[in-house]
Amino acid sequence: MSNRYFIDERGGCIAVRDREQTDPDYNGLHPDTPGVVWYEPGVHEPQKCPHCGSVTRHEWKLKPGARERAEIECSRLNKEPTDE
């Protein structure tokens, strides 16, 4: 049997989600996405051209330690007793 809570990381953000509340047809990941019980946004970082140094685009990246914080929260939630 798989754990009820799982980590969903994409698009520069990370969340812990509840399998019992997650809508498999919904493709986004936001704080109000169905099943999200913990969420941390990333930061919008400029990416510079390696040749001229000008900003060419921006990219979402996780904050340092975000993955570890999500793992701690996910583990904690999966250890809690359920109402089943």
Structure confidence by residue, pLDDT tens digits, 31-73: 999 999 999 999 988 888 888 888 888 889 999 999 999 999 9
Task: Check pLDDT > 70 for residue 82.
Answer: no
The DSSP letter of residue 29 is -
Q: 15 near 33, Cβ under 8 Å?
A: yes
Domain-wise residue ranges, the chain: 5-79
Q: Are 59 and 45 a contacting pair, CB within 8 Å?
A: yes
Q: 81 or 31: whose pLDDT is higher?
A: 31
Burial of 70 from C-beta contacts in 10 A (0-12 / 13-18 / 19+): buried
Amino acid at 54: S
pLDDT the model gives residue 1: 57
